[in-house]
Amino acid sequence: MLTYNKLKKNRRQFLALTGQTVKEFKQLLPAFTQAYEQKYPPTKTRTGKKRKRKNGGGRTGNLSGAEQKLLFVLVYQKTYPVQVVLGALFDLSQPRANEWLQALLPILQQALDDLDALPERKPRQFARNKKRKSESKEFIIDGTERRRQRPKSQKKQALHYSGKKKVHTDKNVVLVNAKTKRVDYLSQTYAGKTHDKKIADNEQISYPREATLHKDTGFQGYEPRVQKTYQPKKNLAKAS
């Protein structure tokens, strides 16, 4: 069974399974604990009923501590296993793993929101929110794809099939701050076949006027209202 106390001793594996270093995990943990206790006060059960015995009494579960709960939900977010596999990793049944996911995913989102770590999702709000912050306005725009289960419908299969990845995928466009390496904007989710530029055009992202934008050839012709855009040029000498 995966446990925090064992996994934290192998820092490389910890990063691979959670997407976080041990230091980053510890920084997130207090906000996660606070959000969990606000949603599920220690004086009540998880169903909202008043406890008849002291918190912690009875059989100790496999996700008994805040560290183990956070590890569980981060492993799911990073590796995205089916629930049967996730349950096996933490010695839980599939229904129990599903129950914990439904409880903990909103807690993780709330904790990240409290830490101001969530990317903007509303394209028209991006410029307004960036103006309030003194961070660099130098951004990198790129498309990201993640594998998904093959749809049953042939029409949907064609929409989600990525020729680049040779699998069925979902796609998002992200804006990363070039200085802080933070994902500042995350688009809505599109079918994997959708072109990067088409997504960017459809999102209609509002940029700060002083922003500079780095893009690759997938965004050829995408010229939003920013101070300047940069796109690497193909080395014709090497190409020939």
Say how far apart CA 29 and CA 67 lie, in whole Å: 7
Q: Is it the case that residue 237 has pLDDT exceeding 70?
A: no
DSSP calls for 84-101: HHHHHHTT--HHHHHHHH
Indicate whether this model's pTM tops 0.75: no
Residue 107 shares a structural domain with residue 197: no
Average of per-residue pLDDT values in the chain = 90
Query: 95: which 2 tokens?
Result: 């229904």
C-alpha pair distances (Å), 89 with each of 25, 41, 121: 19, 27, 32
Residue 203 shares a structural domain with residue 228: yes
Q: Is it the case that residue 57 has pLDDT exceeding 60?
A: no
Residue 132 shares a structural domain with residue 235: yes
Domain boundary among 114, 138, 158: 114
Domain count, the chain: 2
Q: Is it the case that residue 29 has pLDDT exceeding 80?
A: yes
Q: Is it the case that residue 224 has pLDDT exceeding 60?
A: yes
Q: Which domain holds residue 104?
A: 4-114
C-alpha pair distances (Å), 160 with each of 38, 110, 198: 39, 30, 15
Contact between 189 and 167 under an 8 Å Cβ cutoff? The reply is: no
Say how far apart CA 179 and CA 167 lie, in whole Å: 33
Query: 48: which 2 tokens?
Result: 């909202």
Residue 110 shares a structural domain with residue 156: no
Burial of 1 (0-12, 13-18, 19+ CB in 10 A): exposed
Q: How confident is the model at residue 46 (pLDDT cuts 50, 70, 90)?
A: low
- The residue among 173, 205, 195 whose CA lies nearest residue 186 is 173
Contact between 182 and 118 under an 8 Å Cβ cutoff? The reply is: no
Residue 38 shares a structural domain with residue 66: yes
